[in-house]
Amino acid sequence: MTIAAAAYAATGALDIRLVVLVAAFGSLAGANFGYVAGYRGGRPFVERFSRLLRLNPGHMARTEVFFARYGAATVLFGRFVLGLRTWSALMAGMARMPFWHFQSASAAGALVWATAVSLIGFYLGKNWGLIRRLVEYLGVGGVIVVVLVILGLWLLRRRALRSGL
């Protein structure tokens, strides 16, 4: 939804800053709901849904220890990991992560996530004509291959720069 709203903002009909703020607020509100559910319901509540989460008691014990050690980073960076984005707030609440640590990490993660996703949508919207022509010429599979090659080259270059090559 955020990508579509940001692409629409590229037409000038919406302000991209408003799209980012609404997306960040919505993400933060959902995370707070998950945190409260995990905190109030605790481990019994999460165990009730453990089959959906594909968690066994050992996973939950390790999760509690993990959140005690890396909670803020998990909440912050979990926004970008499919699956973890959905369940990290619930697990943080279950693990009794201090609320203000959760809130600050969650707010920062929500803002970074909303900005990144909105910018992707915005630039896709700005370049929609080019994208449409590419899809018509290469087909969907061809476009995916091109995107993966570009992403791979970017990652290789980034790794080379980090290692000093």
Q: Both 114 and 132 in a single domain?
A: no
Buried b (16+ CB within 10 A) or exposed e, 111-136: bebbbebbeebbebbeeeeeeeebee
Q: Both 37 and 97 in a single domain?
A: yes
Q: Both 33 and 74 in a single domain?
A: yes
Q: Both 23 and 69 in a single domain?
A: yes
- Asked if residue 105 lies in contact with residue 77, where contact means CB atoms within 8 angstroms, the answer is no
As for how many domains the chain has, the answer is 2
Q: Both 136 and 113 in a single domain?
A: no
Give the domain range for residue 154. Answer: 128-165
Q: Both 67 and 112 in a single domain?
A: yes
pTM value is: 0.70
Please give the pLDDT value at position 17: 94
- Asked if residue 102 lies in contact with residue 96, where contact means CB atoms within 8 angstroms, the answer is no
CB-count exposure of residue 77 (10 Å: 0-12, 13-18, 19+) = middle
Q: Both 121 and 138 in a single domain?
A: no
Q: Both 72 and 143 in a single domain?
A: no
Please report, in tens digits, the pLDDT of each residue of the chain (165 residues total).
888 888 888 888 889 999 999 999 999 999 999 999 989 988 787 777 777 766 677 777 777 777 778 878 888 887 777 667 777 888 888 888 889 989 999 999 999 999 999 998 898 888 877 767 767 777 878 878 888 988 898 888 888 877 765
Q: Both 40 and 120 in a single domain?
A: yes
Please give the pLDDT value at position 22: 95
Crossing angle for the helix pair 99-126 and 57-78, to the nearest 10 degrees: 60
